Amino acid sequence: MKWPGPRGRRWILAATWAVLASLALWAFAYEPSRLTTRTQALAIPRWPPACSGLRVAVASDLHVGSPYYGLEKLDRVVATIQSLKPDLVLLPGDFVVDGVLGGHFVPPETLATHLQPLAKSVPVYAVLGNHDWWLDAVRVRGALEAAGIPVLEDRSVPLAIGECRFALAGISDATEGLHDIGQALAGIAPDRAVLAMTHNPDIFPYAPARISLLVAGHTHGGQVVLPGLGRPVVPSAYGQRYAIGHVVEQGRHLFVTPGLGTSILPVRFGVPPEISLLILSAGNESVETTVPVSP
C-alpha cells in the first residue's frame, strides 16, 4: 500500500484531531450534562410476595455543585424521580462535592431544601457518603433530616407500603463511617425481609444472606468505560467487580447505581448520569431497559 503524500497526511491528521475533539466534547460536556433513567426488574431472594412490584428509585452521588450539576439540575432530578411514581426513594450518599475541576461548593442546607419537595411526596431515606463525611457528617445529616429525609447510619426502620412489610437498613460508609452491619440490622425480626443501602459497595462481601438486596453508589460506574478495556478507574478495593449494576454472589444480591454527578474530573464516557428505578419481586432473575431523558 502506498503511503499517503503530504496532502493525504494533512487530511488524516485533521480527521484525527476532529475525532479526538468530538470525543472530548462528548466526554467533558455532552454526557456529563445528560440525565437518564434505567428501569431494572430485580427478582431477589427472601422477598415477600406482598412486596412484589415495589418501585424503588435510587439517586446516588448527587455531588451538587459539580459541573453541569447545579440546583436547577437538582430540581430536574427531583421532578424526574416524581414522574417515575416510586413507592420509595433511596439516596445512597455523596450529596456535596469538593475538589472537582470546574465545580463549586453548594451548602448542604441549600441542596436539602431542593430535595424537600421529594420528601413531601414519597418516603425518602439516605445514608452519607465519603464526601459528606469529609465536609461535616453532622452538618449534612442535620440538613437532610431538617428537610424530612431520615439518614440511616447503621440503623434500620420498619416500613409498611400498602400490604408490603419489610425493614430498611442503612449501613454507614465503608471508609469513613463505622459500617457496623450488626448494629444496622439489630432489632429486625429474623423473619422480616431486609432491604439495605450503603454508599460504598465494598461492604458487600460482608453483607449477610438475610439482606435481600444491598443498594450502593460511590463508583460512578467508573465514569468512563472504554471498548475492549472496560473501566480504567473504579474507586473500589475490588476493581471492576462492583463497578455498576446487578451483582449476584453466593445467592446474595447487590445493585450499584452509576450516580448523577462527577468527582475529581468532570468526565463521563459510556456511563451517563442515571436515576435507577428498581422493580422488586421474589426470585432470582433480572431484566433491564434504558429510558433516556433529554438533557
Residue 196 grid cell: 439495605
Instruction: Tell whether 1 is covered by a domain.
Output: no
Instruction: Tell whether 22 is covered by a domain.
Output: no
- For residue 234, the SS3 value is coil
Residue 119 sits in a domain whose CATH number is 3.60.21.10
Residue 165 grid cell: 412489610
pTM for the predicted model, two decimal places: 0.90
Q: Specify whether the CB–CB gap between 174 and 159 falls below 8 A.
A: no
Instruction: Tell whether 10 is covered by a domain.
Output: no
Instruction: Tell whether 164 is covered by a domain.
Output: yes
Closest alpha carbon to 259 in 227, 220, 216: 220
Instruction: Tell whether 122 is covered by a domain.
Output: yes
Instruction: Tell whether 18 is covered by a domain.
Output: no
Render each residue's pLDDT in the chain as its tens digit; 295 residues.
555 666 655 554 555 545 445 455 545 666 778 999 999 999 999 999 999 999 999 999 999 999 989 999 999 999 999 999 999 999 999 999 976 778 899 999 999 999 999 999 999 999 999 999 999 999 999 999 999 999 999 999 999 999 999 999 999 999 999 999 999 999 999 999 999 999 999 999 999 999 999 999 999 999 998 887 889 889 999 999 999 999 999 999 999 999 999 988 888 988 999 999 999 999 865 555 544 444 3
Domain count, the chain: 1
Instruction: Report the run of H or E that residue 164 belongs to, with start and end.
Output: strand 164-171
